[in-house]
Amino acid sequence: MASALKNLSKHDSSKIPSAKGMRIALVVSEWNDEITYALRDGAIDTLAQYGAKEKNISVHYVPGSFELTAGAKWLADTKKYDAVICLGCVIQGETRHFDFICNAVAIGLTDLNTTYNIPFIFGVLTPENMQQAKARAGGKHGNKGVEAAVTAIKMVALKKSLT
């Protein structure tokens, strides 16, 4: 469902498992930091709301969204985390750069999801302009960081239920 039709922060809290004991890493792009830091804050607040302890939430920064894949891989290689949430924002410009970056990040994170034994959460906004980005980073369409945190909690809980 398009985020224009859905508030990214709304979810049924009765369907969210406890995040108690979960170890979650966030890798956050510094490019468009006004947006990505709002996504980060939404994710951290949501993880804490569902029981994750501050000491079990680790935040790391990379220069841009393209670097999210490498940062996420390096975090997974430490074997310290149950999930890695990747947060970025790539705003459409006048060149095809947008397409290359978005495609590379999506494929890179998909590859990590199928290679590693932990979930990598795609929390990358791909709006046409800054106004759309703000609307999805705590504005009228909610916060994609909240949605990413809920997704991480659900995926970690699913994995734990299977072992």
Q: Which residues are catalytic?
A: 97
Angstrom distances, CA of residue 45 to CA of 42, 80, 107, 149: 5, 21, 28, 9
- Token code pair at residue 56: 């079990």
How far from chain centre, in Å, is Cα 163?
Answer: 24
What does the DSSP assignment read for 42-96? HHHHHHHHTT--GGGEEEEEESSGGGHHHHHHHHHHTT--SEEEEEEE----SST
Q: How far apart are the first and last CA of the chain?
A: 31
Residues 6+ apart with CB under 8 A from 82: 22, 23, 24, 118, 156, 159
